Amino acid sequence: MKHIFTVHSSITFLVAYSVIEHLQLDRQDVLLISSKYKVPIDGYRVVPSFPERYAQNTWQKIRYLNVPVHYDRYIDKITGGEPFIAYVDLMSYYQKILVTHYRCKQFHFFEEGNSAYQAYDELKDITWHEREMPFRSKRLSLKSMIRVVRGFNLRLLSMPYIYSAYANMEGIQFFCFSENAFYNVPERKKILLKPDESKPAIEEMAGGFALQDEVVWLDGSNARYTGLDEKYYYGAIKRGIQEFRKYGVIKDKVFVKLRPGIKDISKNNLVRILKENKIQVEVIPNNMILECFFMRSGNCKVIGTLTAALEYAYVFGHKIYSIYPFFEKQPPTFFDRMTGFWKHVEIVDKK
């Protein structure tokens, strides 16, 4: 029996790794289908996703027009025609094809971040991958017609995107790091993962980095959730520094985790503002899975804005603080539905 995991980010790979360890799966039986994500450790068979392999140009898209049929053949090829169990984070298009493959004997969900921690669903969540499309349109949708032409029949298209739609199906398990994940799933169906942070793989994925009793500030305004201009983020940093100093959260040194891809640290506004406020800054290396760093570190104070990374910092034993209450404007966001998130955030007086 093969075991297929779909991964597209550091957290989805880390959870996949943890599921493999928890179930004590033979790595020879494990396949990782990676969607533009470079797996950071060796020892796994990693194959590119179908779009990366067979949809790189117009000719390939025409040649492999019936996507489900050709994806089935791709799965047969990489599994050697063996039956398999699938592990997915959400039910996007290629996950729908994977779990309905005639050789798929079971499928399970594993957490991937924010979506696993929302306390309730809304109508748009059911079709989240097409959330930009209206429910009504005066014109025929060319995009929808192309989906059908490419083999996505009405039954495949009607499969819900969100995990909670599958919560009461027999035989499906939900793998997660926290009891706070998968709110709408019966407890008996949740499998709580407890990665062994002493293992060399965790140390490698943490970049060999760990801290004890330090302050860590995660850069990022997450404007995609708020829609606000960055000036509100910078203002909140300044106000946050004042309040955190007043209540002893920060003193004279902060470790900063920048967003991936930032090369010129001197131009980073979080670093600049901290230094202007006479705070010593040390930048944490980027070659790590942040959650592994949290596992290996102890008793830190972690500051951020709106990010699942704060939730994971809490899960792995740290105190968490959000500067979002210091924004001059605070529009409703996805995090309003993550009620457990705000329950875990430490409160400082912002008057």
Whether pLDDT at 349 is above 90: no
Can you tell me the mean pLDDT for 88-102?
Answer: 97
Using a 10 angstrom Cβ sphere, with 0-12 exposed, 13-18 middle and 19 or more buried, the burial of residue 336 is middle
Report the greatest alpha carbon distance in the chain: 64
Tell me the CATH number of domain 2-195, given options 1.10.10, 1.25.40, 3.30.470, 3.40.50: 3.40.50
Residue 112 and residue 31: Cα distance in Å, rounded?
A: 18
Phi, psi (rounded to 5 degrees) for 67: -60, -50
Residues of the chain above pLDDT 90, percent = 79
* DSSP 3-state of 257: strand
pLDDT at 350 over 60: no
Q: Tens of pLDDT along 120-150?
A: 888 888 988 888 888 888 888 888 888 899 9
| pLDDT at site 113 | 87
Q: How many CA atoms lie within 13 A of 252 on its CB side?
A: 0
Identify the residue with better confidence: 264 or 202: 202
Averaged pLDDT for residues 177-189? 93
Whole-angstrom Cα distance, residue 5 to residue 32? 5
> What is the average pLDDT across 38-56?
93
Q: Average pLDDT, stretch 274-303? A: 96
Beta bridge partners of 249: none
Q: At 85, phi and psi to the nearest 5?
A: -115, 135
pLDDT of the residue at 266? 81
For the segment 159-173, the average pLDDT, to the nearest whole number, is 95
Taking a C-beta distance cutoff of 8 angstroms, is the pair 84, 105 a contact?
Answer: yes
Q: What is the pLDDT of residues 219-266, one digit of tens each?
A: 999 898 899 999 999 999 999 999 999 999 999 999 999 987 777 788
User: In this structure, how many other beta carbons lie within 10 angstroms of the beta carbon of residue 337?
Assistant: 18
When mean pLDDT is compared across 78-87, 139-148, 170-179, the lowest value belongs to 139-148
CATH number corresponding to 207-344: 3.40.50
**pLDDT category of residue 199 using cuts at 50, 70 and 90:** very high
Partners of residue 280 on adjacent β-strands: 253
Q: How far apart are CA 4 and CA 16, in angstroms?
A: 10
Query: Which of left, alpha, beta for 78 (phi over 0: left; psi -120 to 50: alpha)?
Result: alpha
- Stretch among 126-130, 316-320, 331-335 having the lowest mean pLDDT: 126-130
Q: Which range is least confidently modeled, 21-35, 98-112, 128-142, 149-163?
A: 128-142
> In angstroms, rounded to a whole number, what is the distance separating the alpha carbons of residues 304 and 219?
7
Share of the chain above pLDDT 70, in %: 99
Q: What is the pLDDT of residue 171?
A: 94
| pLDDT at 282 (0 to 100) | 95
pLDDT of residue 57: 87
Give the global pTM: 0.93
Q: Where are the domains of the chain?
A: 2-195, 207-344
Angle value at C-alpha 286, between 281 and 292, nearest 5 degrees: 105
Q: Do 2-195 and 207-344 show the same overall fold?
A: yes
State the pLDDT at residue 158. Answer: 94
Average pLDDT of every residue of the chain? 93
